[in-house]
Structure 1
Amino acid sequence: MTMPRTRPFMQVDVFSTIPYRGNPVAVVLDGTDLGEEEMQGLARWTNLSETTFVLPPTTEEADYRLRIFTPQGELPFAGHPTLGSARAWLDDGGKPRHADRIVQECAAGLVTVRRGDGTLSFAAPPRVRDGALDDAYLERIIAAFGITRDRVLAHQWVDNGPGWAVVRLATAEEVLALEPDLSLIPTAMVGAIGAHPEGSEHHLEMRTFAPGAGVPEDPACGSMNAGVGQWLTATGAAPSTYRVSQGARLGRAASIGINADADGTVWVSGAATVCVRGGIAL
């Protein structure tokens, strides 16, 4: 273990235009010389859904490399940490190799991030698993959610690394009313979506539960929304551009934009605001 030194550190609020109402990510902007145990130890200590570490890239195509940890383990990819880390890297003076994009290297591969008017957006990575859930797993989720099978309109694997699955309910109200018993699905990474009334600011309401990563409920989840966006836009179940609200049951106000390009690339966008800036001894 290396001797502690002060490294630049930020906490960034992601997916809300109102500071402290989105999903925070802790970002260590110099992760060099840190071992995996030290990274995991800090992630347990911050107790946020994710803590990230910025490292030099291993490929000329990338601007930086990112390692992403939940309180219980490392993820190959995660959405709000991607946007929050990109915001912190830029705020710390990072200069992208390309004027129109930032390229992040992570265990899942290269992820492109674009800058917009007050927002950042990432290109959804390919799913490593898709298709309908098997009956046994679906029944476990239904039991944990305390609902009946007839309330599930559709279900799908939307896994781009963390292991996400999702069930679709009829309404946002049904999603917000869920009181899941996560002890019935202790290793699950699962979400629920439902539609807001026509004319609402947001098209869908999302909730994501990640007991398998040590996060009972995530206030705003970019990776889940990325996989769901690929599924819904490809099947025509949602328009090519729509918005998702998330976090209401946790007192948050996340707003997540989904946009599918003509070539099928799905972009997940949102605000990212640096709320804490300083140094951390590691």
Structure 2
Amino acid sequence: MEQKFSFAQIDVFTAVPYKGNPLAVVRGADALSTEQMVAFANWTNLSETAFLLQPTSIAADYRVRIFTPTTELPFAGHPTLGACHAWLAAGGTPQGTEIVQQCEIGLIRIRRKDERLAFAAPPTTLEEIDHATRAQVAASLRVDPTAILAIQRVSQKPGWIAALFASRAQVLALQPDFAAMGPLKVGAVAPSPEGETDFEVRGFVPDLGIGEDPVTGSLNAGLARWLIGTGRAPSHYTAAQGTAMGRAGRIYLEQEGTDFWVGGDCVTCITGDVVI
């Protein structure tokens, strides 16, 4: 039986509508089955669609399930900020000073600072990349392997591999071969001293039903751990992403103690009801 649900489309990691990464949010989605969520996420054809539900953990303020057009994700960055923005806009009130989101990976802490949301990145382990994977990354990015200054796996879930380049121009010029990339999730990053931000980032995820992600919280979280941890970035920096797609994504990264905070602005672009 069809039901009506409250709906919003949020532009995440931007203060300028239609210049970030859009997220579809369905509120009060507890009555929906997994199959209905999958079908709706496939229909929106956005990089992610989030469904807000009642939490099952007493420590959480709300629960969210996150879907790409083809699969469910245990965690993702821009849906975390966008879902929180939608929850607050609908009148959500946190139990404590921080907002606590429950998702498949566990509990995620979110804070508001100067009206900007930021999440504490889930813990992860950085891993070295073997020679064969490095060669596959270079081939999939259509670059000589020597153009990649350093490479690292920066997250286990969703499994980002990050390649460091010398210049912003190199990153923006990339024209990936998605067939060669296969199931890999590849992020490209370079310092951007001549730009408005400190780093330029691109994220490629062909196996999730999209080629390039406009702005990616989970990738930038892993990059922050790597870049700050190796002294390639200061403890506070800003990254741009989406430039090659005509977007103006801005991600604000900050290390405080053992926490890595990933922040960005959110803008509500569409509100209404959907029938599912």
TM bin, normalised by shorter chain, reads: over 0.9
The equivalent residue for 1:16 is 14
- Cα deviation, 1:86-128, whole Å, max 9, x if unaligned, reads 0000001111111x2110011111101111213110001111x
The equivalent residue for 2:153 is 157
What is the correspondence of 1:96-245 to structure 2 with a 5 Å cutoff?
Answer: 96-98=94-96, 100-127=97-124, 129-197=125-193, 200-245=195-240
Contact 1:171/1:196 (8 A) holds in 2 = yes
**CA-based RMSD:** 1.0
* Mapped partners of 1:214, 1:143: distance in 2: 20
* Mapped partners of 1:195, 1:277: distance in 2: 37
The equivalent residue for 2:89 is 91
What is the number of equivalent residue pairs in this alignment?
276
What is the correspondence of 1:52-71 to structure 2 with a 5 Å cutoff?
Answer: 52-71=50-69
Deviation at 1:264, TM superposition (A): 2.2
The equivalent residue for 1:274 is 268
TM-score (norm 1): 0.96
Q: 1:33 aligns with which of 21, 24, 31?
A: 31
* Mapped partners of 1:186, 1:214: distance in 2: 12
Contact 1:234/1:264 (8 A) holds in 2 = no
Structure 2 runs not aligned, ≥5 long: none
- Cα deviation, 1:258-278, whole Å, max 9, x if unaligned, reads 0001x1211011101111111
The equivalent residue for 1:252 is 247
Q: Does 2:258 correspond to 1:264?
A: yes
* Mapped partners of 2:222, 2:229: distance in 1: 11
- Percent identity between the aligned chains? 45
Moved over 6 A (4+): none
Output the amino acid matched with 1:85.
A
TM-score (norm 2): 0.98
* Mapped partners of 2:19, 2:237: distance in 1: 20
